[in-house]
């Protein structure tokens, strides 16, 4: 089996980290979540990085992490929701990785985000469902460049199995 990385992108709540962990085990690869790696390296939460230093500093972190991970192989990489929308990040990670974009309907995303109990700045608005729809629309073209894997009404195991089938089938 090839050791090309598997890169999972897509909006928050589509299952990147959950599915990524399952894929890593099944492939015998290491799992890396870019947001977790940034938090570990910087020592602050993503919300704190944004608040204290601004979005540009966080995006610089993403670019450095993308460059670093692109030089490795045998990884399943769950990216932050906007990381692969940057042409440079997408290019560098795509060189040694198969990229899959996990998708879900806005109502599915909202339900998953509410169920996971995590603090999401996105949900800190008066109409989170409308905000999800707005953000998905602004990202549609960027996400559309990658192979789409619909995650609605599927278990993480089913999603991982679908991706494995594509990888092993050489599609």
Q: Give me the pLDDT at residue 158, please.
A: 97
Reported as a single tens digit per residue, the pLDDT across 52-91 is: 999 899 999 999 999 999 999 999 999 999 999 999 999 9
Q: Give me the pLDDT at residue 114, please.
A: 82
Percent of the chain with pLDDT over 70: 95
Rounded CA-CA distance 139/93 in Å is 18
Of 46 and 22, more confident: 22
Q: Give me the pLDDT at residue 78, please.
A: 98
* Residue 127: domain span: 5-169
CATH number for the domain that contains residue 40:
3.40.50.300
The answer to whether residues 40 and 126 touch, using CB atoms and an 8 Å cutoff, is no
Q: Give me the pLDDT at residue 1, please.
A: 44
Domain count, the chain: 1
Q: Give me the pLDDT at residue 119, please.
A: 65
What's the rounded mean pLDDT across residues 96-125?
85
Rounded CA-CA distance 123/27 in Å is 34
């Amino acid at each position: 089996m090839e050791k090309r990385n598997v890169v999972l992108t897509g909006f928050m709540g589509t299952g990147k980290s959950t599915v990524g962990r399952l894929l890593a085990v099944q492939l015998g690869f290491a799992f890396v979540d870019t947001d977790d790696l940034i938090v570990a390296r910087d020592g602050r939460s993503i919300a704190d990085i944004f608040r204290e230093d601004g979005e540009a500093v966080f995006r610089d972190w993403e670019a450095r992490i993308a460059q670093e991970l692109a030089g490795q192989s045998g990884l399943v990489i769950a990216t932050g929701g906007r990381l692969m929308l940057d042409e440079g990040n997408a290019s560098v990670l795509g060189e040694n990785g198969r990229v899959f974009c996990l998708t879900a309907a806005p109502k599915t995303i909202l339900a998953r985000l509410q169920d996971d109990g995590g603090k999401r700045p996105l949900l800190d608005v008066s109409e989170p469902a409308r905000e999800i729809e707005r953000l998905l629309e602004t990202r549609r073209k960027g996400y559309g460049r990658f192979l789409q894997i619909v995650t609605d009404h599927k278990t993480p195991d089913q999603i991982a199995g679908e991706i494995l089938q594509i990888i092993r089938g050489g599609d």
